[in-house]
Amino acid sequence: MTVLTLKHFLLALLTITLSRPDSASLGFAEEFESRDDVLESEFMYASRPKRSADPPSASDPDKCSYTFIVPQRKTTGAICVNSKEPEALLENRVNKQELELLNGELHKQRRQIETLQQLVEVDGGVVNEVKLLRKESRNMNARVTQLYMQLLHEIIRKRDNALEGSQLENRVLNHTSEMQQLTARYRDLEHKYQHLSSLASNQSALIVQLEEQCRRGGFPPQPPQHRQPPPPPVHHSPARPFHPPTYTRHNNQITNEIQSDQNVKAMPPTLPTVPPETHSSSTDKPSGPFKDCLQALEEGHANSGMYLVKPENTNKLMQVWCDQRHDPGGWTVVQRRMDGSVNFFRNWETYKQGFGNIDGEYWLGLENIHWLTNQGNYKLLVTLEDWSGRKTFAEYASFRLEPEADFYRLRVGRYHGNAGDSLTWHNGKQFTTLDRDHDVYTGNCAHYQKGGWWYNACAHSNLNGVWYRGGHYRSRYQDGVYWAEFRGGSYSLKKVTMMIRPNPNTFH
């Protein structure tokens, strides 16, 4: 009876469940039928129930549906399964298309990574090559530095040899000039000796006559032919002998002090017994000292040559070359270049005192030029000649140098001539040498121009540069004897002369 009642209860329950044929129940029934052989000993969850397509009505709220399965074994209770799935899980569900897109992106990323790996490998090779090139470059730089030092050492050695040769040549020239001047002095002394001998003989004859008269006891009148001429007055300064420049030693080297300070007392006094007739043998010799070459010309010395000059307001004596041929004469030469026999790459002290040979290439000296140009208004004449024989000139209405306290600053006036103006750019600039840098350039212009000049930054003219033979020269820098407005800076001129003369005009 109990078994029969249980069967009726189960049938009624199945009838109630099947009376609502929703999709969840059907799906569960199909799943249950397919897995009959598995559910022999336990309850199984078949599938999640899906929401009905029809919207639920207000009077029919969502309910949890229950399915009771009668196993072969004894049941112990019922299982409740929620047939509604949360919407968040549905939104997060990944479909197949998205997976394919993700796989494609992964493949692209993998290919890019492989490409980057190849580039890294190539770049690694390039880095190694760059390292090797840098190492070779360092080795090459070290080799170039070594060669440069060797070349510099060779250049210094050759320059020292050239300086020694130039100094030896200057010493020979100085000794030659000294011998010539000593010879001239010897001739003057010989003339004086002859005159003194004649005087002594005349005095002896006169003494003999006087002794005779004393013995006779009377003094007869002396014949006119035996009367002695009166001694020449002291103002006969042209009879003074010409004195050579002094030679002094500095650091065991003989230099030609052509403009060294000389004491007036060093001049021997003029002998009053020298008769006027003896002047005829030396009338062409300059006597001096003169204010300048113009004064020598005005006093009748019309021949070009060496003259003794003493500027006003100073006891400084100097020997200069006076050019009396260049119209109108009276020019005092302060600089001359003609054959490259003198090295003009000198220091400050040498440029201050002067150097070279008066009858050849020489520089009068900054101190001497200062004293000359500050005793009045002087004009400057620069004559130029190239290697083809073409001659030009540049004249400046005024020219003077400031004192050494202002580093011999240049002052020039207005220009005229046919050589072009290459000195006005240097107006107002101080003098610069290798050991005294007063130019406006960041470096030392004298180092590059190989001379001393009133450099600006650096030069439009360089008349104290290196004398190159032939005109056009090859050098790392423009260091020749050039006048930029005449033949340019890469052309070394053959002959150059700078000379000054008093200018009566006061305009600048």
Parallel, antiparallel, or unpaired for β 362-363 and 331-337? Answer: antiparallel
Q: What per-residue confidence (pLDDT) applies to 270?
A: 36
Instruction: Using pLDDT thresholds of 50, 70 and 90, give the confidence band for residue 65.
Output: low
Instruction: Using pLDDT thresholds of 50, 70 and 90, give the confidence band for residue 96.
Output: confident
Instruction: Determine the distance from the C-alpha atom of residue 500 to the mean position of all C-alpha atoms in its chain, rounded to a whole number.
Output: 32
Q: What per-residue confidence (pLDDT) applies to 303?
A: 93
* Residue 120 in this model has a pLDDT that exceeds 60: yes
Distances (CA, A) of 285 to 137, 205, 297, 473: 70, 34, 13, 41
The identity of residue 78, as a single letter, is A
Query: What's the rounded Cα separation, in Å, for the pair 496 and 453?
Result: 14
CATH code of residue 371: 3.90.215.10
Place of tokens 């790392």: 476
Contacts of 51 (CB under 8 A, 6+ apart): 83, 84, 85
Give the residue-averaged pLDDT of 82-93.
54
Nearest to 423 by CA among 443, 398, 389: 398
CB count in 10 Å sphere of residue 391 = 12
Give the residue-averaged pLDDT of 24-46.
45
Contact 396, 505 (CB under 8 A): no
Write out the two tokens for 250: 């500095």
Q: What per-residue confidence (pLDDT) applies to 277?
A: 34
Q: What percent of the chain has pLDDT over 90?
A: 40
Q: What per-residue confidence (pLDDT) applies to 341?
A: 94
Q: What per-residue confidence (pLDDT) applies to 153?
A: 87
Nearest to 322 by CA among 295, 342, 352: 295
Query: Looking at the whole model, is its pTM more than 0.75?
Result: no
Contact 320, 294 (CB under 8 A): no
Q: What per-residue confidence (pLDDT) applies to 71?
A: 56
pLDDT tens-digit series, residues 408-441: 999 999 999 999 999 999 999 999 999 999 999 9
* Residue 28 in this model has a pLDDT that exceeds 50: no
Query: What's the rounded Cα separation, in Å, for the pair 499 and 369?
Result: 10
Instruction: Determine the distance from the C-alpha atom of residue 405 to the mean position of all C-alpha atoms in its chain, rounded to a whole number.
Output: 26
Assigned domain for 130 exists: no
Nearest to 368 by CA among 266, 280, 259: 259
* Residue 308 in this model has a pLDDT that exceeds 90: yes
Instruction: Determine the distance from the C-alpha atom of residue 277 to the mean position of all C-alpha atoms in its chain, rounded to a whole number.
Output: 63
Assigned domain for 491 exists: yes
Assigned domain for 356 exists: yes
Q: What per-residue confidence (pLDDT) applies to 79?
A: 52
Q: What per-residue confidence (pLDDT) applies to 267?
A: 37
Query: What's the rounded Cα separation, in Å, for the pair 356 and 193?
Result: 34
Q: What per-residue confidence (pLDDT) applies to 221?
A: 45
Assigned domain for 439 exists: yes
Query: What's the rounded Cα separation, in Å, for the pair 330 and 296?
Result: 7
Instruction: Using pLDDT thresholds of 50, 70 and 90, give the confidence band for residue 129.
Output: confident
Q: What percent of the chain has pLDDT over 70?
A: 67
Instruction: Determine the distance from the C-alpha atom of residue 369 to the mean position of all C-alpha atoms in its chain, rounded to a whole number.
Output: 29
Assigned domain for 441 exists: yes
Query: What's the rounded Cα separation, in Å, for the pair 408 and 444?
Result: 17
Assigned domain for 275 exists: no
Contacts of 302 (CB under 8 A, 6+ apart): 324, 329
Indicate left, alpha or beta for 393 from its phi (over 0: left) and psi (-120 to 50: alpha): beta
Parallel, antiparallel, or unpaired for β 461-462 and 415-417? Answer: unpaired
Q: What per-residue confidence (pLDDT) applies to 45?
A: 44
Q: What per-residue confidence (pLDDT) applies to 281?
A: 35
Query: What's the rounded Cα separation, in Å, for the pair 77 and 58?
Result: 32
Instruction: Determine the distance from the C-alpha atom of residue 259 to the mean position of all C-alpha atoms in its chain, rounded to a whole number.
Output: 33
Query: What's the rounded Cα separation, in Å, for the pair 251 and 394?
Result: 39
List, in sequence order, every residue forming a beta bridge with 253; answer none if it has no partner. 250
- Judged by average pLDDT, the poorest of 87-91, 209-213, 379-383 is 87-91
Q: What per-residue confidence (pLDDT) applies to 197?
A: 80
Q: What per-residue confidence (pLDDT) applies to 484?
A: 95
Contact 239, 232 (CB under 8 A): yes
Distances (CA, A) of 99 to 93, 103, 332: 11, 6, 107
Per the structure, the count of domains in the chain is 1
Assigned domain for 159 exists: no
Q: What per-residue confidence (pLDDT) applies to 262?
A: 31
* Residue 392 in this model has a pLDDT that exceeds 80: yes
pLDDT tens-digit series, residues 449-468: 999 999 999 999 999 999 99
Q: What per-residue confidence (pLDDT) applies to 295?
A: 93
Q: What per-residue confidence (pLDDT) applies to 125?
A: 80
Q: What per-residue confidence (pLDDT) applies to 117?
A: 85
Domain extent for 369: 293-502
Contacts of 372 (CB under 8 A, 6+ apart): 292, 309, 311, 332, 334, 378, 500
pLDDT tens-digit series, residues 148-207: 898 988 899 888 888 888 888 888 888 888 888 888 888 888 888 888 887 888 887 888
Q: What per-residue confidence (pLDDT) applies to 128?
A: 86
Cis preceding linkage at 286, omega within 30: no
DSSP summary character for residue 404: G
Contact 457, 439 (CB under 8 A): yes
Q: What per-residue confidence (pLDDT) applies to 278?
A: 33
As a whole number, the mean pLDDT across the chain is 76
Assigned domain for 432 exists: yes
Q: What per-residue confidence (pLDDT) applies to 16?
A: 56
Instruction: Using pLDDT thresholds of 50, 70 and 90, give the confidence band for residue 394.
Output: very high
Half-sphere exposure at residue 87, Cβ-oriented, CA atoms within 13 angstroms: 0
pLDDT tens-digit series, residues 241-288: 333 333 333 433 333 333 333 333 333 333 333 333 333 333 445 567
Contact 177, 357 (CB under 8 A): yes
Query: What's the rounded Cα separation, in Å, for the pair 186 and 392?
Result: 42
Nearest to 454 by CA among 342, 351, 321, 339: 351
Torsion of the alpha carbons at 182, 188, 194 and 195, rounded to the nearest 10: -150
Nearest to 361 by CA among 287, 256, 434: 256
Query: What's the rounded Cα separation, in Å, for the pair 139 and 221?
Result: 109
List, in sequence order, every residue forming a beta bridge with 396; answer none if it has no partner. 380, 415
